[in-house]
């Protein structure tokens, strides 16, 4: 009997090739059959916007030992990328680096850099596409933005809002390259995180 049969495969890995063997025989005894290998590759899932804060009233400079951070709480299990509302002034001498951490003073779980030439002098949403990072939904993580050189006239700026526009985190600032941090409880940087 002609027809379509379906097969459900579980626990497959994204962007991975698999081969399956199909052995289909006509049960009526006609002698018709299909015996064949089929190869397929799984696709990458589309990520979705998970956390965001888009309101701003001010900005803060990043250069030399001046670092900034924003805490957030994901609801996804995998972070795929982030966007920050930033710009540059003058000609910063070093790249800007975004890291994700599980504590402000801990090690980078993932990081990605953008050269000064990739950052506009006008404020824009700049995308930092990093390696997929497994996270625990409901736990606090930190976006850490930094650079190693520059001056007050050759630096990067990150916009932030006031009156607690993002309820699941706060703005942090360090004047000693992340050794210690000051909390600004009613401020939040402009950011978007994506995940699956």
Radius of gyration of the chain (CA): 24
The two tokens of residue 168 are: 């699941």
- Closest to 44 (Cα-Cα) out of 74, 76, 12: 12
Angular region, 175: left φ>0, alpha ψ -120 to 50, beta rest:
alpha
Average pLDDT over all residues of the chain: 93
Structural domains of the chain, ranges and CATH numbers in brackets:
48-195 (2.60.120)
pLDDT tens per residue, range 77-130? 999 999 999 999 999 999 999 999 999 999 999 999 999 999 999 999 999 999
The two tokens of residue 93 are: 């001498």
pTM to 2 decimals? 0.79
Q: Residue 117 phi/psi, 5° resolution?
A: -65, -20
pLDDT tens per residue, range 132-145? 999 999 999 999 99
């Amino acid at each position: 009997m002609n027809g379509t049969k379906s097969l459900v495969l579980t626990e497959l890995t994204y962007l991975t090739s698999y081969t399956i063997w199909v052995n289909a025989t006509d049960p009526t005894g006609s002698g018709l059959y299909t015996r064949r290998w089929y190869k397929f590759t799984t696709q990458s899932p589309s990520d979705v916007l998970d956390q965001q804060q888009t309101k701003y009233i001010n900005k803060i400079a990043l250069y030399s030992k001046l670092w900034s951070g924003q805490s957030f709480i994901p609801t996804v299990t995998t972070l795929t990328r982030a966007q920050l509302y930033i710009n540059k002034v003058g000609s910063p001498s070093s790249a800007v680096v975004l890291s994700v951490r599980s504590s402000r003073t801990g090690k980078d779980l993932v990081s990605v850099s953008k050269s000064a030439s990739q950052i506009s002098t006008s404020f824009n949403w700049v995308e930092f596409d990093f390696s997929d990072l497994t996270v625990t939904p409901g736990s606090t993580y930190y976006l850490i933005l930094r650079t190693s050189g520059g001056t007050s006239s050759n630096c990067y700026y990150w916009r932030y809002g006031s009156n607690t526009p993002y309820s699941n985190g706060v703005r942090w600032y360090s004047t000693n390259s992340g050794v210690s941090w000051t909390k600004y409880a009613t401020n939040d940087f402009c950011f978007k995180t994506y995940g699956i």
